[in-house]
Amino acid sequence: MPTTHKYPFITGEDLKAAASQVNLSFDIANIQSSLSLAANDLKDVVAKTVWDRMLTHFNSGDYSATGTTLNDKLVNAFLAPLANMALYHHFIWLQLNISNAGITVVKTDNVTSAFKYQTDEAKDKLMQTAWIETNNLIDFLNENKADIEEWTASSQYADLAKLIFANYKEFDQYHSIDKNAAFYIRIRFIIAEIIKEYIQPRITEPYTIADAVKLIKVKRFLAYKAIAEALLRLDPMHLPISIRQSITNNMSSKHDDYQFLKEKLRAAIDNRATNYLHELDVYTSAKVADADVPEGETQYTKFEANTNPDRKFYSAL
């Protein structure tokens, strides 16, 4: 009976092939906990049912890394995001050695520990690569949605259809998220909450807005408000790289407080969202007022000065 694998890697070399920037040798069993965390990250984004289909094919005996079937391509689409995400979660354990003697780091005559700025950049690059590869996975699912029922039947796919934005790429046009599809899927609940709390009381049918100007104003508000809420609710690892860098670039010294700077950025973005909501309200009010004005006049006509000399009384206040 063939061995059933929990992940689409059998050896450490298999994982290294999907994350080629890593130069180390390890047994796949040594990073099981980090693979589990990475797998959970992906299941949250693309649905457990899609993961199960991929893993079933990997364990079927029919999988070929160079194969051209849809299921072969599905397995291959999971490899790079899973490998890079697993190494991101495992990063601290690549630097530390835990034994009965305590916790140590590598330091010999020929090898010494990397500087913090180097390890910080390396960890960021792992996560950036993981998100880029996750984008590729999601694009693959969307391109083949007619043949991957597990994706179109998932709650993730259904939720995304109710966010007013066409997709993560359109959201990125209103507030940059580095075209991070995984982040967009993670904040789908936040966007849905904002629509329910702020948009539906103003616009009964927010998903069928015919007025192009109003639609742009709605999307602009939604994007900024969603980012502000994401800064409040999400773990920093799930934030787009550019947003995290907006915070860390303002840290002038190691004594700066990350949480304080994150809240400062969140407040600034939330203020922009409030301004955009005000613009939407003003625009909507003006449109309603114009609809009640007789043809040939404007909503301001009644306030215009009338200096007709035939009138017996005239007052200008």
Task: Please write the tens of the pLDDT for every residue from 83-135.
Answer: 999 988 876 656 555 444 544 555 655 555 555 645 666 677 888 899 899 99
In this structure, of 177-181, 243-247, 313-317, the range with the lowest mean pLDDT score is 313-317
**What value does the mean pLDDT take over residues 10-23?**
79
Q: What is the spatial distance between Cα 114 and Cα 256, in angstroms, rounded to a whole number? A: 23
In this structure, of 162-166, 284-288, 309-313, the range with the lowest mean pLDDT score is 309-313
The whole-number pLDDT of residue 102 equals 47
Q: Residue 197: beta bridge partners? A: none
- Is the alpha carbon torsion for 274, 278, 281, 284 positive or negative? negative
Q: What is the spatial distance between Cα 80 and Cα 314, in angstroms, rounded to a whole number? A: 79
Residue 248 — pLDDT band, cuts 50, 70, 90?
confident
The whole-number pLDDT of residue 269 equals 97
Q: How many CB atoms lie within 10 A of CB 243?
A: 23
Q: What is the spatial distance between Cα 109 and Cα 169, in angstroms, rounded to a whole number? A: 49
pLDDT tens track for 171-211: 999 999 999 999 999 999 999 999 999 999 999 899 999 99
In this structure, of 28-32, 43-47, 277-281, 287-291, the range with the lowest mean pLDDT score is 287-291
Helices (H), the chain: 12-18, 32-46, 48-58, 70-89, 91-95, 116-143, 149-152, 155-160, 168-174, 181-186, 188-194, 212-233, 241-248, 258-291
Q: Is the pLDDT of residue 158 over 70?
A: yes
Angle 115-118-124 (CA atoms, 0-180°, nearest 5)?
Answer: 140
**Paired tokens of 172:** 């990125």
Give the strand pairing for 102-105 and 96-99: antiparallel
The whole-number pLDDT of residue 247 equals 86
The whole-number pLDDT of residue 27 equals 72
Length of the chain: 317
3-state secondary structure of 294: coil
**What value does the mean pLDDT take over residues 233-248?**
88
Residues 133/88, Cβ–Cβ less than 8 Å: no
**What value does the mean pLDDT take over residues 281-285?**
92
Tell me phi and psi for residue 102, to 5 degrees: 120, -160
Q: Is the pLDDT of residue 253 over 80?
A: no
**Paired tokens of 149:** 């029922």
Burial (CB count <10 Å: 0-12, 13-18, 19+), residue 226: buried
Q: What is the spatial distance between Cα 12 and Cα 30, in angstroms, rounded to a whole number? A: 9
Q: Where are the domains of the chain?
A: 1-151, 162-289
Q: Is the pLDDT of residue 40 over 50?
A: yes
The whole-number pLDDT of residue 303 equals 42
Ramachandran quadrant class, 178 (left: phi over 0; alpha: psi -120 to 50; beta: rest) = left
Percentage of the residues of the chain whose pLDDT score is greater than 70: 76
Place of tokens 């849905």: 192
Residue type, 128: Q
The whole-number pLDDT of residue 155 equals 95
| HEC letters along 15-70 | HHHHCCCCCCCCCHHHHHHHHHHHHHHHHHHHCHHHHHHHHHHHCCCCCCCCCCCH
